[in-house]
Amino acid sequence: MKRMLFAAIFAAALLATPMGVGAHEYDRDDSDYPLRYVAYVLHPFGIAVEYALLRPIHWVVSRPNLDIIFGHEPTASENPNYFEWK
């Protein structure tokens, strides 16, 4: 019993003590990735394709009678009453 009490107090003391943290040193020349610039250019086009093409397609295939034809299954974000058992 004394050992368990000592272990509990010791564990609580370890959890209560603050840990020292520090950030790594940032080197701008070392962390510059060239393909990131490509992503900056392509990202707006990807968003435009999503809104102009993919979202309307999803809207069509998720209609109540068309979802059976296309095999669309609603997710929790589309139907709050939906609960998927796994």
Q: What is the pLDDT of residues 35-46, one digit of tens each?
A: 888 888 999 999
Rounded distance, CA 52 to CA 47, Å?
Answer: 9
* Residue-number span of the structural domain to which 47 is assigned: 35-86
Within-domain flag for 45: yes
Instruction: Note the pLDDT of residue 50.
Output: 96
At 10-64, the pLDDT tens digits run: 888 888 877 777 777 777 766 677 888 888 899 999 999 999 999 999 999 988 8
pLDDT band at 82 (very low <50, low <70, confident <90, very high): low
| 75: helix, strand or coil | coil
Q: Is 84 a residue whose pLDDT tops 60?
A: no
For residue 17, being part of any structural domain is answered with no
The residue written with tokens 């701008």 in the block is: 28
Instruction: Establish if 59 belongs to a structural domain.
Output: yes
25 in a structural domain: no
Count of domains observed in the chain: 1
The reply to whether 27 falls in a domain is no
